[in-house]
Structure 1
């Protein structure tokens, strides 16, 4: 169990990281051009009405005072009040987190479902036509932007074939699952291009390892050697790669949710930026940052559990 000692002290190391993220998020949000009070009240806003709104939300205070209020609210379990939605930001985020979480999970599962068999075929048939085709597709897939992939999938499966809905999230579990297929596939196609290359390299190395050679010497079939010994070892660097790309994955949901009109945190952030809703933008950005840090922490635990030789 000494391999898991990092679980005790690693959260303490995350505290300064989260503090730095909160400072950067707070400052960057304040650099967005425009006055939230003026945007909220419209073109006919009077100076006195603007001053009242700014005072109500603390926007007339110095930046360091506003940051102090922000940190104090965080310790009290709040993230301020939205100037647009007129409700607590934390409660607003709680109502939007389900679509984003479901989209990320769907994207990761579909990416694994695509990348594992493709990498297995490519690794076991090195130099074949299938290997070259998979490598070419995975290389090309890295360069396809999410908004373009989403638009192409909508045109094919929604407009032309009529199999899946164009946008939205749905109400019932069945509708939600149906609405998540296209946006999840959009994320998965971009992510699987990266994972396939990593898995293929790990599987090829595993096939040539001493562990695989010893397993063959014990009379195990090639399929047993591959799926029992090669694939689990190849998953270790893939888990780390997935954790490294989790920030890109979460950031990609902002674009995908906008393309497919999924009412999640990404769409909430985009609307908050356009309306200069500082509290919403910094609340969502901080939520994304915390999620990224926690997922990387979870990836470390999974990595140690998969490979007993690793100590963190």
Structure 2
């Protein structure tokens, strides 16, 4: 049975942690026949009460469905769980968090065992699963045919975005977005550290931060355009020389407030290096050139 035939696609889910359980509940609520397996069998019991079939082994669970979704702790857990399972003719979807290299290796591993493979990068947390308005989604990469066969089923828990035949692209873009988020949180932490000891309403300041970051976010498109064209100078409003000069004020303010600059200095150091290389008329995009190894 596929998404193009009447009825709901049966599927198997290996792994019932917080994310796996959230995925399982949404598929069950949507009427999909679901077989589940977890290393700790007790985790399957609440789902069995909702209509899931609990398999005694991972191999038994894999045998139950053409579509097999894996959401485990790490890549080593995936290999351990699937050892001994017959993957011939299966569509294997790996939602386990991993690296691009691991996804590519797992894709080759799956093909050797007769399966089509999709890797997934989940851009959501468990409470966002099954909530269409949450904005969550999953990046998928690997077999286009497998995605086209099952995309409606995969889109039941949250949005499904296919990003290419290269099995590593989902993990790569997942990690790239999470890396950007990490940098944003570093900036937020520094900003709050500057103001928290003053007579400033932190909730009001939080709204200022949201508004400011929202206003700055479109600069992302400019960065993409500059990287695509290779031109970092046309239409620049605040060039690198101006930004480096402005960093002095940021650092002095942190010193006055008794706040460490350690969250800012690595990026500022890169800006200074690019400036010393003679690129003062550029935007900040040129700093990316220093990150390649």
- State the TM-score bracket (shorter-chain normalisation): under 0.3
Q: Higher helix proportion, which one?
A: 1
State the TM-score, normalized to the length of structure 2. 0.24
Structure with the higher strand share, 1 or 2: 2
